Amino acid sequence: MQSKKIAVIGLGYVGLPLAVEFGKSREVIGFDINIKRIDELKNGHDRTDEVEPEELKEAEFLSYASDLDKLRDTQIYIVTVPTPIDNFKTPDLGPLRSASKTVGQVLKQGDIVIYESTVFPGCTEEECVPVLEKISGLKYNVDFFCGYSPERINPGDKVHRLPNIKKVTSGSTPEIADEVDDLYKTIITAGTHKAASIKVAEAAKVIENSQRDLNIAFVNELSLIFDKMGIDTLDVLEAAGTKWNFLPFRPGLVGGHCISVDPYYLTYKAESLGHHPQVILSGRRINDNMGPYVASSVVKLMNQKGNMIKGARALVMGITFKENCPDIRNSRVIDVIRELKEFGIEVDVYDPYADTVEVKQEYGIELTESPVDTYHAVVLAVSHEAFRDMDIKSLANGTGIIYDIKSFLPRDMVDGRL
């Protein structure tokens, strides 16, 4: 077992797989302020479904805690807390600062603090280090050191897991950069890439999802254009995809904790330096407006089929931000639901993957346990595999319309799709 003890601060989609992987070979404390989460993990249950019960058992050197005193004999702290945006689309660094304060209270001479949370370039040293110095009374790069290794977890993906995704690493001095890189090499079978600096590693992470966001915005805009032309977007993309270097992006709702959030961290930093990032923000505007566009398209199709709009009933299938996972954070399906309600339509929502209590707390929606009624409109919003064998056609009962956001259903079954 390795000598230095690790503490992973924050046991969500990112932190838990990391703690488990390290905990298979060295002593690790998994720390979270959510006591219920700690109790569940101690009982072998991961509500995010990222780590199976058998794998939790394999981490024989991993223990869990919500008590700060349990962190005092740790030498390496890895911070994996969320970095969301607020209602004004401005980075919310509250969880990051809070985690830094927690670590600062137990920081000692020679310790290393590694951040994995997605941030703007410069955030670690400009925002987090001053908190660590103030709370601990220690001096950066003299008494303690930092590293940054951006997370690359893909929720719900059972193929691309932590060990087989190449890891970017960095450190606040050349020696610490080597130590951080060597640390991750012990668990990352795909290998590592040691970045030139912490700021470079931060920038690399934030542009990964910004690039994806812009590519999806492009095909979303194509969908808007082709709809006006009466052309099926998927037909066009399949034809264009026959060229070897065409990128296979698909139109859709862009939500979740990464792609729809990370670009705002980059644009925030850019604007603070006096540059207005037109391309990135333009892509964000297109993607943020897709929910209302879908709802309007559904209403038009209902009207064409002779269905009354006000008082009509619609079923939205799926509310998680992506398929086959329970993650509802920043799901843009809610935009479709709210817009349909603005038209006076009664909306039921069905999602067998989502947690009923979380959906109620986050969005104020009571999930339908099992749809058995018929509806004037059925909107497939998330391509859960569980939906594949459902008799969706019967839910529309011949007179309702079926709209497929994800191009998941057979073409001859649907009345419209992105």
Find how far residue 90's CA is from the centre of its chain: 17
Q: Report residue 89: phi and psi, to 5°.
A: 60, 35
Do 336 and 280 touch, CB atoms closer than 8 A? no
Q: Report residue 116: phi and psi, to 5°.
A: -115, -15
Neighbours of 311 (CB within 10 A): 9
3-state secondary structure of 209: helix
d(CA 333, CA 318): 8
d(CA 295, CA 379): 9
Nearest by Cα to 374 from 395, 403, 348: 395
Report CA-CA distances (Å) from 205 to 58, 65, 211, 279, 359.
30, 29, 10, 18, 29
Please state at what angle helix 129-136 crosses helix 94-104, rounded to 10 degrees: 30
Which residue out of 128, 146, 258, 325 is catalytically annotated?
258
Q: Among all chains, which residue has been given the structure tokens 């990032």? A: 277
Both tokens assigned to 80? 């994996």
Find how far residue 360's CA is from the centre of its chain: 19
d(CA 36, CA 152): 26
Do 169 and 181 touch, CB atoms closer than 8 A? yes
Output the DSSP codes for 250-312: ------TTTTTTHHHHHHHHHHHTT---HHHHHHHHHHHTHHHHHHHHHHHHHHHTT--STT-
Do 378 and 314 touch, CB atoms closer than 8 A? yes
Q: Convert 367-402 into a string of H (helix), E (strand) and C (coil).
A: CCCCCCCCCCEEEECCCCHHHCCCCHHHHHCCCCEE
Q: Is 146 a catalytic residue?
A: no
d(CA 42, CA 323): 27
Residues annotated as part of the active site: 258
